[in-house]
Every structure is written in C-alpha cells, then in structure tokens.
Amino acid sequence: MENLLLTLIIGISVVGLVAALMLAKWVMSKSDGTEPMRAISDAIKEGANAFLKRQYKTIVILASMVAAALFIGYGMIREHQSFDPVESRVALAMWITLSFVFGAVCSLFAGYIGMWVSIRSNIRTAAAAVNSVNDALRIALRGGAVSGLMVVSMSLLGVAGLYILVKFFTGVEATKIPFMIVGYGFGASFVALFAQLGGGIYTKAADVGADLVGKVEAGIPEDDPRNPAVIADLVGDNVGDCAGRGADIFESAAAENIGAMILAGVMAKTVPGADPVWIIGVMLFPLLARAFGIIASIIGVLTVKIADGEDPMHGLNKGYFITVFFTIIGLFVASKWLFYHQSAPHAWLYLFFAGVVGVLTSIAFIYITEYYTEYKYRPVRSIANASQTGPATNIITGIAMGLECTAPSAIVISISILAAYYLGQASGFPNAGIFGTAVATMGMLGPAAYILAMDTFGPISDNAGGIIEMTEQSKEVRERTDRLDAAGNTTKALTKGYAIASAALASFLLFRAYLDEVENYGHPIKSVDLAEPVVFVGALLGAALVFIFSALAIMAVGRAAYYVIWDVRDQFKEKPGILAGTEKPDYGRCVDIVTKGALKEMVVPGLVAVLTPIVVGVLFKQLGAGAEAVASMLMVGTIAGILMATFLNNGGGAWDNAKKYIETGQLGGKGSDTHKAAVVGDTVGDPFKDTAGPSLHVLIKLLSTVTLVLAPLFI
C-alpha cells in the first residue's frame, strides 16, 4: 500500500511537471510581437532578473544563518530525549536542517519559475491581443498555469521524496517521519516571507511613485512611456505577484501537507483494530488528495476559452468550477479508498464531506472578495461616491469597508471549522474532529494549481496592457487588453481571498499539529489557559506582532516610494523633453533605485516575524511555560492575522476598483477632482493589498512552521 501510494503521488506530480513544460512550450511557440514590443518586454525582463538575483542573494545569506542555528540548536544545545524519533541528536539535527534547506531551495525555485514564465508570457499575450481576446486569454492563463502546476507538483515531490529518504536511511516508524521533515515547511515559509515581502515592497513603491508623480502631478495616463517609473512598475507585477505568490502557494502546500500528515498519523493510531498498512494509507491521504487536485487543475486550464465579445471572467470562472468538480471527485476516490475501516464503515463518507466543506469555503471566500472589490457592488461604489467630496472621505469610507468585510469572512471560517470538526467527530473514528478540519484544508487546497494560474494571469495581462500602451497600439487593441487587465485585477483580488481562507483553515490545522508534536516530545498540553500570566502575555505578543509587522511593511513601501518619487521628479527637471515626448526617460535608473530600496526595507520586518516566536519560546521556557506561551502566541496571532489580512486585502482592492470605476467615465471620469481623490485612496490601498496583506498570509503560516520546527527547543 505504501509503495503503491507513493508511486501514484510521485507519478501524478511528474505528470503535473510534464504538463507544465508542455504548456510552457505551447506559450513560447506563439508570436512575440513587433520590435518595439520586444524592446519593452526585454526591459521588463532585465529589471525583473536583476531584482530577483539581488533578492535571492539576501535570502540565501539569511537562510544559511537559520540553517546553521537549527543544526546547533538540535545537535549541540538540546539534549537527546528517549522519545525522539531517532537515537542520535545529531541525526535529528541533520534531518531537520536538511529538510529546511530543501524547502528553502524548492521555494526559491518555485518563485523563480513563476517570474520566468510571466516575463515571457506578457509579450505573447500582447501580440495575441492584436487579433483576438480569446487567444490572449488562453496564453496568459496557460502561462500562469506553468507556475501553478510547477509549484504544486514540486511541493508534493519534495514531501514525498523526503518521506522516502528518511524511511530508507533511518527505518524509523512511518508516523514519526513527519516530525523529522517539518523543517521543509519552515524553509518554504522563510523564503516565501522574504520573497512576498520584498516583491510587495518593490511593486508598490514603483506603483505609488509612478502614480503620484505621473498621474497626479504630471497628469499623464497610467503606463505612459514618458513616466520613468513605468518599467519599474511593470517589473513589480512580476516580482511581487508572480515570484512572491509562487513562493507563497508553495509554502502553503508544503506546510499544510506535513501538518495534515502529523494529524492523520496521530488520529489513525487511536482507531481500534487499525493495522500499520491502513495507518500509513490515512497518513498519505493529504498527498494523494493534492495529487488528484493537479489532474483537476490541468483539466480546468485546458477548458478555458471565450467567444468574441464574452467577458474573460466567464471563461476563467468556468475553468475554476470544472476544476472544483474534478477536485471533489478526487476527494471522493481518495476518501473511499484510504479512510474505509470496518470499525466505522461510514467514516470515509463523513470525512469526504469534510473535504467538500473546504472546497465550498474557498468558493464562499471568492464570492465575499468579489462583493467587496468589484465595482458593480455597494462597497466599491460607496468609496467612489465618497470621492466626490475629496480624498479624506474616500479614505474614511475605504477603511470602513475594509473593516466591515472581516465579519462575513470570520463567519464563513467559523462555520467551516465547526462543520468540518463535527463531521470528523461524527465519523466514528476516535479523536477525528480535528482531523476533519485537516481534510477540509486539503479540500480547499485541491484546486491550488488553478488558483495560482488565475493569480499569475493578472500580472501577465497587466504587463500585456502596459506593452500595448507603451507601443501606442490602436484603440481597439487597447480595449482588448483593458478587458483582460480588468479580469486580471479581479482574479488577483479573488486569489488573495482564497489565500486568506486557506491560511485560516491551515493555521488551525498547524496549531493542532503543534500540540500533537509537543505531546510527541513528552509534554502534553491539554488546554491553553489564558488566565495564566505567561500564557496571556504570549497571546498579547502574538496579536501585537501582526500589527507591528503590518506597520513595518507599509512604512517600508512609503520609504522605498520616496526614492522613486524623487527620481521621477528629478528626471522631469533634468530632461524637460520627456513630458514633451522628444526625449526618453532613463528607465534603468529608476529600476535600480527601487530595487535597492525594496531589498533594504524588507530585512527588518522579515526578521521581526521570524525571531519573535523564537524569542518568546526561549525566554518563557525559563519560566517553565515556553511551549504554552508559544501556543497562545500562535493561536491569537493567527486570529489577529486573518482579520488584519482580510481588512488590508479587501480594503486595498476596493480602493483600487473605486478608481477604476471612475475611470470608466462615472462621476466625472479621468482627470476630474473625484478621480484625483480616488487615486489618492488607491495609493493608500496599494501597500495594504499588495504588500502587508499578502505578506500576512505568509506570516500566519510562518508562525505555525517556526513553532513546529522549534517545538522541542521550547520544552
């Protein structure tokens, strides 16, 4: 059974990689446009590569320091315990460190793949848009699917590969293996935080600088070739939304797979009459369910197409629901096969429905996000109407809408967790309530490859629109790319909603996995008592971490944007012919300035996020409650992070689309005072939705993976 399942998981993962390569080959076979188009695309490519090269150097240095600290902590400082999964503390240190390094390397590669594809798909999407919206849509989505399939397939291969390596070299009991490879999720989370944070700071610093000096001060359109920051802005779409989000989704897949395996092993061992073969099957369910999700995503991507005049979102939504349908079929097959046990013959059906709850939760979050960020609904129109009385009322209304949207999000998460918990509890398996929430998380993450394809579709279509604008194509062609860009803005907002929902369910899963791991190391925690001062302080620090991290991320954008704004102003003064169209701006200088600024600013908030739970665990260990203090920090920090990320993502998205609604000609249209007020609101929302908000998704899961890896050091 074990060999069959691992062969199937690895085989489907390889199919995902092959499909990604075939899609990449298909995209690369398309026309790359005219010489002027290629000049713009090459400038974007050069800037993105330069940023990622510098960013990865910084991340590698920081990750090497953490890897060394992990090995020293496990192999030299911590004493060997009788309940450790292996007999030597050096061996345990080696596996934890190796899995951390492997997770970090795979996450870096996943982020790079996302950017590599996007910077080559954008020009082909632009060239296709000259003739057909449908052709451009398919190129952009399939370009995004390369990233989605590579990321999810690699995460599965990584976990399955480490499982096989540990089993082969140590012979340790199968249910102990996940405790030895938890470093894989930590390594992926560590890289994802800096990739998302650095890319987010870069993209929003460039965007804010380009908007304030270009659109507000100089009165020139978005993506106007006269704006020195326009190439930096287009580069930002790739390094933030593609490389950053690729690392984010990879980290989600890696961490949740390992956390679910821990919960599965703990639960399965308590089932009366459970034999080792059945236990291993239950423990490998998360990987098999995710593998079936790869097949579902491939089918969904290949079905996307639209007719002339049809809204691109209709085609994308159709592909998503086809993916969801096949994901549910995969859950059914995996549940019936691996969960059936004679002691509770109907348990598999209850757990299958728990997985369906996860799928439905992702759909609900997409609709909530759409309601709060689409300009055909009340929240965005309220912000647009408030812009008629100036920037102040625009900002007040935007903040109010962002705060309001946390309520429906919290209600959906609550219903999902309770439904999945009670379905698991009703299954007949002992202690299966928490495992029901793990199955729900696997259901939600089933269509992850398609979701990432939709997310990457956004920056590809945005870049394509920029290339068309900068090469001064006809109005008809610009209208085609505008339709794709509008769909891309929607998909980016929807995938952030999906990311929040998955982070919420996953964090509950990982919190429970932390408690199980602590118990595995001989320190059971039956409850987290907030009436204990040390525990209460840990919880307070967890909530405070979310706020201070958000503040640091937003301030980092402001400081990096400062450099961009002054450079654009200086270029306008140095070369008066730029605005007249007789001289070309120095795009490279602006790209270089924002690169240095973003990388400088990402270090402090990133280190604060990583070091805070470690410091709390080590210090409070001296008071005899290190594991409990970290548990409370993890619990309350997760709750605060979910709500704050929802507020930042949806509030920022609503500000953005309020501006776009006015730009369609409503309430005075472009250039009016109402539009200028909306641009200010959009600028405020930029670091909310593209820097602090997405980085909080990673922070929430980083807290869980840090505590999973370092739990033995807090006891």
Give the whole-angstrom CA distance, residue 324 versus residue 335.
Answer: 16
Domain ranges in the chain?
Answer: 2-714
Coil, helix or strand at residue 344: strand
**Kind and range of the H or E run holding 446:** none
Q: Are 44 and 235 in contact (CB under 8 A)?
A: yes
Q: For residue range 283-312, what is the model confidence (pLDDT) as tens digits?
A: 999 999 999 999 999 999 999 998 877 888
pLDDT of residue 5: 94
Beta-carbon contacts of residue 55 (< 8 Å; ≥ 6 apart):
194, 195, 198, 199, 239, 599, 602
Six token digits for residue 495:
């995938």
**Low-confidence spans in the chain with pLDDT less than 50:** none
State the amino acid at position 684 in one-letter form.
V
DSSP conformation class of 240? I
Closest CA to 260 of 538, 502, 447: 502
Q: How many CB atoms are located within 10 Å of the residue 665 CB?
A: 9
State the amino acid at position 119 in one-letter form.
I
Q: Are 546 and 646 in contact (CB under 8 A)?
A: no
pLDDT of residue 208: 80
Q: Are 458 and 492 in contact (CB under 8 A)?
A: yes
Is the pTM higher than 0.85? The answer reads: yes
Give the whole-angstrom CA distance, residue 194 versus residue 187.
Answer: 11
pLDDT of residue 222: 65
Six token digits for residue 199:
């890319």
Q: Are 339 and 348 in contact (CB under 8 A)?
A: yes
Q: Are 142 and 470 in contact (CB under 8 A)?
A: no
DSSP conformation class of 341? B
Give me the count of residues in the chain: 715
Sign (positive/negative) of CA torsion 694, 700, 703, 704?
negative
Six token digits for residue 27:
């995209």
Rounded to 5 degrees, φ, ψ at 344 are: -150, 80
Q: Are 658 and 398 in contact (CB under 8 A)?
A: yes
Six token digits for residue 94:
């080696």
Give the whole-angstrom CA distance, residue 590 versus residue 233.
Answer: 10
Per residue, the 3-state secondary structure of 290-338, as one string, reads: HHHHHHHHHHHHHCCCCCCCCCHHHHHHHHHHHHHHHHHHHHHHHHHHH
Give the whole-angstrom CA distance, residue 569 versus residue 209.
Answer: 10
Q: Are 453 and 114 in contact (CB under 8 A)?
A: no
CA distances from 279 to 182, 268, 455, 670 (A): 19, 5, 36, 62
Give the whole-angstrom CA distance, residue 622 versus residue 80.
Answer: 19
DSSP conformation class of 375? T
Q: At what angle do helices 89-129 and 182-209 cross, to 10 degrees?
A: 40
Q: Are 103 and 188 in contact (CB under 8 A)?
A: yes
Rounded to 5 degrees, φ, ψ at 227 are: -85, 115
Give the whole-angstrom CA distance, residue 622 versus residue 216.
Answer: 55
Q: At what angle do helices 391-404 and 626-663 cross, to 10 degrees?
A: 130
Rounded to 5 degrees, φ, ψ at 341 are: -150, 140
CA end-to-end span of the chain: 36
Six token digits for residue 423:
């379905």
State the amino acid at position 55 in one-letter form.
Q
Q: How many CA atoms lie less than 13 Å away from 704 in the CB half-sphere?
A: 36
